[in-house]
Amino acid sequence: MALLSRRELCKLMEFDSWADLKVWLSDVIGAAYRELKRDFLRDYDRRGEQVPPGSEHIKYGLVRRYPELEAKVEKRVRELEDGVTDRVVNKSTWKNCHHYQHFVVRAIALDRLSARNNPEKNHIATRQWARDPVKLVAIMYDLTNTICHD
């Protein structure tokens, strides 16, 4: 599976530049991004290893389960609105696909909530492609795979 370049990812997600996408990563979905780096990427970095590449299997597994993922996103948005902080989750037995799914769900939820509360910021929730749940999940997989290998 080909890894998208920064330029390809920006075009796909309708960001003007990698800098704009990085601002969105930091400002809008920062909590999910930091958790991905802390709980998934840091272990590879400590060992001096490359993160294993994503796969079509992971991507299509996420896409096939988009109704389940959408339900998780909606639940997470409600939790965030109610002030529920993140639960401690034992990720010690997680595979790559679990980390990818967790990031995708959290990132979409954070973006949607931010779009409601801060409409002046740049959000994917306002983009036409994000209204198609299959495309949304596929593009969020591509984002996750790219930032894991950047």
Percent of the chain residues topping a pLDDT of 90: 68
| pLDDT band for position 56 (cuts 50, 70, 90) | confident
CA distances from 87 to 19, 56, 83, 90, 91 (A): 31, 30, 12, 10, 12
Residue 44, pLDDT score: 85
**Which tokens sit at 124?**
């994917």
Q: Which residues contact 134 (CB under 8 A, 6 or more apart)?
A: 63, 66
- Looking up tokens 């330029």 gives 7
Provide the domain count of the chain: 1
Average pLDDT estimate for 109-119 = 95
Any domain includes 60: yes
Any domain includes 29: yes
Q: What is the DSSP string of 6-43?
A: HHHHHHHHT-SSHHHHHHHHHHTSHHHHHHHIIIIIHH
Residue 1, pLDDT score: 58
Residue 23, pLDDT score: 95
Average pLDDT estimate for 45-69 = 87
Q: Does position 54 have pLDDT exceeding 80, yes or no? A: no
Any domain includes 139: yes
Domain that holds residue 24: 6-148
Any domain includes 21: yes
Any domain includes 1: no
Radius of gyration (C-alpha) of the chain in whole angstroms: 15
Average pLDDT estimate for 9-22 = 96
Any domain includes 121: yes
Any domain includes 13: yes
| pLDDT band for position 15 (cuts 50, 70, 90) | very high
Any domain includes 66: yes
| pLDDT band for position 150 (cuts 50, 70, 90) | confident
Average pLDDT estimate for 85-97 = 80
Model-level pTM?
0.92
Residue 149, pLDDT score: 83
Residue 2, pLDDT score: 73
CA distances from 112 to 19, 59, 102, 105, 124 (A): 21, 22, 16, 11, 8
